[in-house]
Amino acid sequence: MLANLLKIFIPTVLSFIIGLAITPIATHFFYKYKMWKKVSRNITTGSEFQKIHNEAEELKTPRVGGIIIWVSVLFTTVIFYLISIILPNSPLALKMNFLSRNQTLIPFFTLLAGSLIGLWDDLIQIFGHGKFAHDDKKWRIWKSLLIVILSFLIAIWFFYKLGMNSIHIPFGGYLNLGILFIPFFIMVALATFSGGVIDGIDGLSGGVLGAIFTAYAVIAFTSNQIDIATFSGVIAGATLAFLWFNIPPARFYMGETGMMGLTLTLATIAFLTDSVLILPIVAFPLVISSASVILQLLSKKWRGGKKIFKLSPIHHHFEALGWPSYKVTMRFWVLSIMFAIIGIILAVISH
């Protein structure tokens, strides 16, 4: 038990330290090359959004801060893997390596692949020209297609290599989906990715995702999936290092290179820990952010332009009501912690 706890704790702390250490270098690079959006969202949004939004701040704040997260995870993972290679006869070195084929290889690949695709998206919006650089609807469709392709490849691996074709129903055993497991995985990945709209206020996404990945570290630990628990802890540590510099006033935003990699990895870990139906509870802030956008669009389409919220996603609605952004952020943190705890309890007692 103590050895497993140390295996989780040490890499998690190292990831946090690496994140803090590389941030000054990364920040210098971000600002030197002006890695922020060149077109404000105020062009495509209404007056309500312009009232609460600081255009000058957005156009001078880098949007690729998620690099700090996945690079920290990459360094931490590689360090412990190399130690196990250099010291093959050391039980301690082998024990500390958490990159395993059956538990963490796929989440590790998902994080890197999703983050690199997200980085490409960020760079298009930073240095590109034309409609794609404005994140228009056509580009969002192409981006969703890329998510579908990546999710399909991961689902194929799960189905054919790992033999995974069922999902756990809390308090109800397992539901065999057969080949339908593949489209179900894609649907969950897309739904989780849609929660990335939460990256809209200083400190919001970092705090929420830090709580979510911490919850999955605990869930994996209780299932004796120590490598997944460690990997989730490492992501949480790196995310908290990002958050250290993302609290108001944000030194940078997470961007798609952070949100895409983290949300897709989150969906993957949820399947690996047999807790995919617990995911909407653990990640409730992501769910309500995504749902608020969908409901707003449907309401405007089917109710003659009438809106449910002053603004969507829902965190901007609260800002439009007069809540200071820091109050919105901190209350979302509270919700994240509360639902993370609820999710952990349900995951533990439902198996």
18: pLDDT strictly greater than 60:
yes
Residue 158: which pLDDT band, with cuts at 50, 70 and 90?
Answer: very high
Choose the most confident range, by mean pLDDT, from 35-44, 122-131, 133-142, 289-298: 289-298
Q: What is the pLDDT of residue 243?
A: 97
Q: Encode pLDDT of 34-86 as tens digits.
A: 898 766 654 445 556 666 665 556 668 899 999 999 999 999 999 999 999 99
Residue 138: which pLDDT band, with cuts at 50, 70 and 90?
Answer: confident
Mean pLDDT to the nearest integer, 96-121: 94
Long-range contact pairs involving 343-349 (C-beta distance under 8 Å, separation at least 24) = 343/215, 343/219, 343/275, 343/278, 343/279, 343/281, 343/282, 344/215, 344/218, 344/219, 344/222, 344/282, 346/170, 346/278, 346/281, 347/170, 347/219, 347/222, 347/273, 347/275, 347/278, 347/282, 348/219, 348/222
The DSSP secondary structure of 72-94, one letter per residue, reads HHHHHHHHHHHHHHH-TT-HHHH
Half-sphere exposure of 337 (CA within 13 A, CB side): 6
**Residue-range domain boundaries for the chain:** 2-276
Residue 350: which pLDDT band, with cuts at 50, 70 and 90?
Answer: confident
Residue 172: which pLDDT band, with cuts at 50, 70 and 90?
Answer: confident
CA distances from 256 to 178, 200, 225 (A): 32, 12, 29
Q: What is the pLDDT of residue 44?
A: 45
Q: Encode pLDDT of 267-304 as tens digits.
A: 999 999 999 999 999 999 999 999 999 999 999 889 88
Q: Percentage of residues in the chain with pLDDT exceeding 70?
A: 92
Residue 94: which pLDDT band, with cuts at 50, 70 and 90?
Answer: confident
